[in-house]
Amino acid sequence: MKKLFLFFLMLVSSLGIAQSLNDYKTVVVPLKYEFLKSENQYRLATLSKFNLNKIGFDVYYSNQVVPNTIDRCAVLNYDIVKENAFLTTKLYVTFKDCYGKIIYQSEVGMSREKEFQLAYTDALNKVFAPIYELEYQYNGGANVAVVEKPAKVDEVKQSVPVTAIVTNEVLVNKAIDPNELLFAQPLAGGNYQLIDSKPTVIMKVFKTSDANSFLAQKGSQQGVLVKKDNQWFFEYYLNGQLVSEKINVKF
């Protein structure tokens, strides 16, 4: 009876995990992982995308822009994590939602291969084996398309600037609400674009030699994004005066 109960518990748990993944259709795959020195080293990004596509997900690399017709919170962020181990290579993968919550964490894949390319490939393939067994099937849950409401001519008054009509591009004159959380979407070369929940690209930032400072562009405004006392600020000159805007951003 005890064995039957444990089997039932594991079955329910497995179904719950599969159901969580089934709510999503789109996955973003990084080109570089924390334990690697370069992008797509050992072809882990390529192998990840291949397996995820084969499972049934729509996959974008982190240097690609996800279409603005897909809600930001309908996208899963994929990651590969390496465990410390002696004479073995141990990997597992995570899928996180837009708030950083883990939707699914895989079992650990272990390889005893000595050559790095073989070891990482072997371990990652072992990670994906039980994910295939989940028999993923998208149920239409989280991937809600963002449908822009067309502006009616009689709703647009002369006092409202054209930039009030939201697009997926940076709005030059759009003031940044310091209480609105922006998300840093990775681009190539360690750069980012900061997006809101629509998603709209609010700003693009470019890395410098200082991890707490980025060159920044918001429309026609050129400046810097700097971190002071654990808070980010966009600073630029306007009519000869230094302007400092508080930015609430999650990297």
Last residue of a domain, one of 133, 153, 182: 133
Report how many domains make up the chain.
2
- Rounded to 5°, the CA angle 34-251-229 comes to 110
Neighbouring C-alpha atoms within 13 Å toward the C-beta of 126: 17
Give pLDDT, residue 18.
43
Pair (227, 180) in one structural domain: yes
Residues 6+ apart with CB under 8 A from 30: 45, 61, 62, 78, 79, 186
Closest by CA position to 118, among listed 46, 186, 44, 19: 44
In a domain, residue 33? The reply is yes
Categorize the per-residue pLDDT at 133 as very low, low, confident or very high, splitting at 50, 70 and 90: very high
Residue 229 lies in a domain: yes
Does residue 160 surpass a pLDDT of 50? no
What is the pLDDT averaged over residues 20-49? 93
Q: The whole model's pTM is what?
A: 0.53
Q: Is residue 246, in this structure, part of any structural domain at all?
A: yes
On whether both 30 and 113 belong to a single domain, the answer is yes
The segment with the largest mean pLDDT, out of 76-85, 136-145, 173-182, is 76-85
Q: Are residues 114 and 193 in the same domain?
A: no
**Do 124 and 224 fall within a single domain?**
no
Domain containing 222 equals 163-250
Same domain as 129, residue 23 = yes
Average pLDDT of 72-98? Answer: 93
